[in-house]
Amino acid sequence: MVEVTVTPSSSLADRPVRVQVRGLSPGQLVTLRVWLKDEQGECFQARAFFRADGTGDVDPGCHPALGGSYSGVWPMGLFWFLQPDTLFRRLVKRDVAGSPYLVHLEVFDGLQLATSPQDQPLASCQAERWYVGPGVQRVPIREGRVRGALFLPP
C-alpha cells in the first residue's frame, strides 16, 4: 500500500518539512504533485518526477527529481516551486493569523504532466502551513504614512 507523509503535518510556512513516499515498487516512476488554493480560490501547484529506490521509497530530500517543476535534490522543492494555474498571479497570504494554507500532496503512477479530475492518486495527504505561530499577537501600525503590522510573541 502506497503512503505519502509530510512531517510535521502542521508547521510554520518558513520551516522545512520532510516529504516521504513509501510502499512503491523498486524503480517505479512516480509523479509527486503539491497544490493549494489561495484566499481568492486560485490554484498553485508544483510537480516533480521521481524513481523509487530499491526499497520502494521516495524522499525528495535525498532522491533527485528527474524533471517537472524542478530537477535535482531539493528537500523543499515541491513547496518552493509552486506556480499559479493563471498567469501573473502571486501567492500572497492576507489573513496571516486566522488560517493556514492547506497544502495537498498526491502521488501518481508514472509521469503525469497534467492532472485531470478522473486521475486517481496512489496516495495523498494534507499539510497545514501557518504564517503566525500560536499565541502571537498582531498589532496594526498606522503612523503618518507608515502602514504595517507588529507581531508580538506570546
DSSP string, 53-92: -TTS-B-TTTSPB-EES--B--TTHHHHT-EESSTT----
pLDDT tens track for 48-60: 999 999 999 999 9
The β-bridge partners of 125 are 105
Can you give the pLDDT at residue 96? 86
Q: What angle do CA 99, 38, 58 make, to 5 degrees?
A: 90
Instruction: Supply the CATH number for residue 81's domain.
Output: 2.60.40.2240
Match 508514472 to its residue by C-alpha cell: 110
pLDDT tens track for 102-153: 999 999 999 988 877 778 999 999 999 999 998 999 999 999 999 999 999 9
Tell me the C-alpha distance between 134 and 40, whole Å: 24
The residue range of the domain holding 51 is 3-152
Number of domains in the chain: 1
Q: Which three cell numbers stand for residue 1?
A: 500500500
For the full predicted model, state whether its pTM sits above 0.75: yes
Q: Where are the beta strands (DSSP E) in 8-68?
A: 10-12, 18-22, 29-37, 43-51, 67-68
The answer to whether the Cα torsion of 151, 19, 115, 125 is positive or negative is: negative
Tell me the C-alpha distance between 136 and 10, whole Å: 16
As a whole-number percent, the residues of the chain with pLDDT over 70 amount to 100
Tell me the C-alpha distance between 69 and 83, whole Å: 9
Tell me the C-alpha distance between 127 and 104, whole Å: 7
The arithmetic mean of pLDDT across residues 12-39, rounded, is 96
